[in-house]
Structure 1
Amino acid sequence: MSALNAEPVVGSRIDYLAPLHDPTLDPGAVLARIPSCAADFRAEFRLTGTPDSIDTYDLITLPYPTRFGLWRASMAPAPFLSITNRMLIVRWTEADGRRRTLLFEPSDVELGTNTPYFAALARRTPGPLETLFVRRHRDVLAHLRSAGIDPAEIDYLVFDHLHTQDVRRWLGTTEPQPDLGAVTPLEPIFPNARLLVQRSELNALDHLHPQQRPWYQPDTYRDLRPEAITPVDGDLLLGPGVALIATPGHTTGNQTLVLNTDTGIWASSENAIAAECLVPRHSKLLGVRRWAQEWDQGVVVNANTVETIAAQYNSLILERSIVDVSQRDSRFPQFFPSSELTRRWTNPGTAPTFVHEHITHRGGRKGTV
């Protein structure tokens, strides 16, 4: 029987990666299992087909501490680097002919600025400097309008994790939201969408560790419409060439979007901020190659908290093992950072060696699984 077994709620369960989620295993034992599990997953996932379309849209370019984004590897003089947060629109057709639309990383940028860490940073940054370092591109709704997609068409909202995210306007609430000027419950902008989120990520919101608190807005989840949230446990195939896999580490409930396209398999998450972080010995970033060689490190994690660094390292190895290599430069994997390192003259020593900037795919292909 196929390892993609039917689940009654959303998608189909993926069993090939289950051995990696065994809580009794230490990180080294999990790492040893990754090559065989990833190979089995790749072979099976290719058979599921491809989605109808994938498109990428810039939301915001903003500063981020170099010591987080490149962890211990960078020798850049700049305390901050720049990352560009992007949304993906993924569309596919079900076997029964129903069209599905998924938004990956549809950040409400305006409300995201209330995240404690970024709010504190903004208070310390004079207005003219903020305009120098922060560039707002078009927002989620503007991008949907340009793509000719009605918000009512959206079936799924997915984030790799819930750092900075406030989704009240997207999903609607059961109670008034005075801080948003709403004296009655908010009506959802995406009335038919469900937020797909790992159950462990939701559970963490109830009892955040002090290391986690600067990055979340837990109170904004208290009044969300419950029917708009679908907890996920582990790995799911959502449609032809579209999967969510659990990749804990950056947060306990981190997850990765995996896509099969006409250029092969991609993975997207924020476990790393650049494709070269998965192959650091090909990096020209100051200090990165040397650090990887000196300490025999296979990847460079994006670590703004340090709860589970070993698990995040393993998740990046899994992502690298699943994807194909870029057709533009075969040294670099088709890993698409949901927030990608971006060259800015204000951040010396942090210019990426290689960037993807976008994924574009057309032409769905039916699978055989």
Structure 2
Amino acid sequence: MTDPAHSNATADTPDVRPIPEFAGVHEIWPRGDRLKAVRTAAERYRERFAAQGQVRAIKSFDIAAAPYPARFAFQGYSVNANPMISIINRMFVIQFDGFDGLLKTLVWEPTVAAGSAEAPFYNKLQAFARGMRAERLFVKYYNDPDKILPSLGLRNEDVDYVSFDHLHVQDVRMIMGSDKPIEGEAAPREPLFPNAKLLVHRKELGTFESMHPMQWAWYVERGMDGVPPERLEAFDGDVELGVGVSLLWTPGHTDGNHSLVVNTPDGIWVSSENGMAADSWQPELSKIPGVRQQAAFYGREVVLNGNTLEDSLDQYDSMVKEKTMASPSPRDPKWLQIIPSSECAPWKRQWPVVPTHSHGGLDYGTITSTARHGA
């Protein structure tokens, strides 16, 4: 492992390596100098990361569409008639060579919709939508996370890691299991992926210990209660998981927000919920009314997903970090390969707040059974 004296990252497992290029950049002051340092560090790391190799396979799957206030999606810049839009949650299955030489499987964003509905914001919104008989206009279910791997010929027992960019609207008990029953249930929950550990930033875990009122509406109350500590792998800063896959600390949306970065035959892809569409990272190309004009007026190169704004300056810097890492798309080189983990739906009924460009899903390589864990 890299000498901790030269890195801002630590982890609970030797299989996860800190990324020294980003050491100390989030402490630089004043803020303009910090942004420059973040961009420069991302440029340096991008070169080294690209040379390390590619993931074995990555495939994405739509999980569910959920309602979302249009004013949050593009920082209030968009001009729209509809107050609500829908966003589509994605799950990724990634296989890569670990630093121990073994094939690893990571499941990124396996959202359980029933748990998300219990977050205070969505609980209140769902009750309102049912009262108006409008829920079906915004909600759609595509896949259950625990059914996806068997469809690929892989067992849920074969998953090594689970991770989310942050834990908004996640009932972790429904994913990682709990040693005591969830309210209203008779027995403790079994984990969806029995042998997996949750890779989670230490600051994100800390939020559950003492939540600020500005954070409360987006986290599931008691969503971590009874989750066995041995199911968690906490880390700090930026970390590499193996060949072609890293988790970059991208604070701002939440304190412990982190973004998935993978290297593929088409170059580097980044996934996060810092933005709601490709427009968010490249507003100069946006056709959504107001987005390009407002970004230009304020001299800003990114447009935030603005539901929380825990630290908008940090989130801005994090999105610059993401776009600096991403490769241009070979299908349309003017667009960077950034794919939101929750993306603004392209539905005509929420026009004009629809993505100017969507990369669709990711599909590289072949998912194979690791067959390391017992049946």
Which category of TM-score, normalised to the shorter sequence, fits these structures?
over 0.9
1:19 maps onto 2:24 in alignment: yes
Q: Distance in 2 between matches of 1:336 and 1:257?
A: 10
1:67 is matched with which residue? 71
2:119 is matched with which residue? 115
State which of 298, 304, 313 in structure 1 corresponds to 2:307.
Answer: 304
State which of 302, 326, 338 in structure 2 corresponds to 1:323.
Answer: 326
1:169-180 matched pairs, under 5 angstroms: 169-180=174-185
1:84 is matched with which residue? 88
The AA in structure 2 aligned to 1:29 is: D
1:55 is matched with which residue? 59
1:20-35 matched pairs, under 5 angstroms: 20-22=25-27, 25-35=29-39
The AA in structure 2 aligned to 1:285 is: I
* Cα drift, residue 345 of structure 1: 2.6
Greater CA drift, 249-258 or 354-363? 354-363
Q: Distance in 2 between matches of 1:28 and 1:95?
A: 36
RMSD, aligned α-carbons: 2.0
State which of 194, 203, 206 in structure 1 corresponds to 2:206.
Answer: 203
Alignment partner of 1:267: what SS? Answer: strand
Deviations 1:140-184 (A, max 9, x none): 0221221122111011110000000012132222223342332xx
Q: Distance in 2 between matches of 1:245 and 1:235?
A: 5
Relative to structure 1, the CA distance from residue 27 to residue 122 in structure 2 (aligned partners, 3 Å threshold; closer, same or farther) is same
The AA in structure 2 aligned to 1:214 is: A
1:245 is matched with which residue? 248
State which of 124, 128, 139 in structure 1 corresponds to 2:128.
Answer: 124
The answer to whether the Cα contact below 8 Å between 1:152 and 1:192 also exists between their aligned partners in 2 is: yes
Q: Distance in 2 between matches of 1:96 and 1:212?
A: 38
1:226 is matched with which residue? 229
Relative to structure 1, the CA distance from residue 228 to residue 26 in structure 2 (aligned partners, 3 Å threshold; closer, same or farther) is farther
2:141 is matched with which residue? 136
The answer to whether the Cα contact below 8 Å between 1:115 and 1:217 also exists between their aligned partners in 2 is: yes
* Cα drift, residue 85 of structure 1: 0.5
Q: Distance in 2 between matches of 1:6 and 1:64?
A: 35
The answer to whether the Cα contact below 8 Å between 1:276 and 1:332 also exists between their aligned partners in 2 is: no
* Cα drift, residue 95 of structure 1: 5.3
* Cα drift, residue 32 of structure 1: 1.5
Relative to structure 1, the CA distance from residue 148 to residue 363 in structure 2 (aligned partners, 3 Å threshold; closer, same or farther) is closer
Q: Distance in 2 between matches of 1:96 and 1:161?
A: 27
* Cα drift, residue 77 of structure 1: 1.6
State which of 214, 218, 223 in structure 1 corresponds to 2:217.
Answer: 214
The AA in structure 1 aligned to 2:324 is: S
Deviations 1:173-200 (A, max 9, x none): 2223342332xx3332322111111101
Deviations 1:97-149 (A, max 9, x none): 42210000011112211111011001111374211221110110221221122
Q: Distance in 2 between matches of 1:180 and 1:47?
A: 49
Deviations 1:17-54 (A, max 9, x none): 123222x5343221121332111101110122111100
Q: Distance in 2 between matches of 1:89 and 1:175?
A: 29
1:271 maps onto 2:292 in alignment: no
TM-score (norm 2): 0.91
1:357 maps onto 2:373 in alignment: no
Relative to structure 1, the CA distance from residue 218 to residue 122 in structure 2 (aligned partners, 3 Å threshold; closer, same or farther) is closer
The answer to whether the Cα contact below 8 Å between 2:245 and 2:260 also exists between their aligned partners in 1 is: yes
1:367 is matched with which residue? none
Relative to structure 1, the CA distance from residue 171 to residue 284 in structure 2 (aligned partners, 3 Å threshold; closer, same or farther) is same
In structure 2, stretches of 5+ residues that fail to align are 368-375
The AA in structure 2 aligned to 1:74 is: S
The answer to whether the Cα contact below 8 Å between 1:108 and 1:167 also exists between their aligned partners in 2 is: no
Deviations 1:217-253 (A, max 9, x none): 1412021011001111011110110000100011111
* Cα drift, residue 80 of structure 1: 1.5
Alignment partner of 1:126: what SS? Answer: helix
* Cα drift, residue 346 of structure 1: 2.4
Q: Distance in 2 between matches of 1:201 and 1:141?
A: 24
The answer to whether the Cα contact below 8 Å between 1:236 and 1:244 also exists between their aligned partners in 2 is: yes
Q: Distance in 1 between matches of 2:10 and 2:25?
A: 20
The AA in structure 2 aligned to 1:143 is: I
1:99 maps onto 2:109 in alignment: no
Greater CA drift, 211-220 or 250-259? 211-220
The answer to whether the Cα contact below 8 Å between 1:69 and 1:273 also exists between their aligned partners in 2 is: yes
The answer to whether the Cα contact below 8 Å between 1:164 and 1:216 also exists between their aligned partners in 2 is: yes
The AA in structure 2 aligned to 1:204 is: T
Alignment partner of 1:73: what SS? Answer: coil
1:45 is matched with which residue? 49
1:148-167 matched pairs, under 5 angstroms: 148-167=153-172
Greater CA drift, 342-351 or 148-157? 342-351
The AA in structure 2 aligned to 1:235 is: D
1:186 is matched with which residue? 189
Q: Which runs of 4+ in 1 moved over 6 A?
A: 1-7
* Cα drift, residue 62 of structure 1: 1.9
State which of 340, 344, 347 in structure 1 corresponds to 2:343.
Answer: 340
The answer to whether the Cα contact below 8 Å between 1:340 and 1:357 also exists between their aligned partners in 2 is: no
In structure 1, stretches of 5+ residues that fail to align are 365-369
* Residue-pair matches, total: 361
